[in-house]
Amino acid sequence: LPDGRLGDIPDAALNRLGQILSRWGLTPSGTEGFAKAEVTRGGIDTRGLSSRTMAARAVPGLYAVGEAVDVTGWLGGYNFQWAWASGHAAGCAIAEAA
């Protein structure tokens, strides 16, 4: 729906898309190593997330972590630490809710 709205897509189609995407496998072919590792900027505004669980305030059941969130640290491991810590927080919250 290039000119449509996400809200106009039927739930069944969204559920099917979710199933397809969650089964989609990606295999990295290599890296340039930590010396060339970078970070992206932008992402989901932190004000829209719970700082304890990383859950989206506006969309129940949606969690955002790592570089999907608008958090940027200096090079040198800070962004890795953010990715691990936010992922851990979300994972614990999801497990607790299950």
Write the pLDDT tens digit of every residue in 15-40: 998 899 999 998 889 888 877 777 77
Q: Express the helix, strand and coil content of the chain in percent, nearest 5 each.
A: 45, 5, 50
Q: Per-residue pLDDT for 95 more than 90? A: yes
Domain boundaries, the chain: 32-97
Give the pLDDT confidence of 55-88 residue by residue, as tens digits: 999 999 999 999 999 998 887 788 899 999 999 9
80 phi/psi in degrees, rounded to 5: -60, -45
Burial call 26-61: b when 16+ CB within 10 Å, e when fewer: eeeeeeeeeeeeebeeeebeeeebeeebbbeeeeee
What pTM, to 2 d.p., does this model score? 0.61
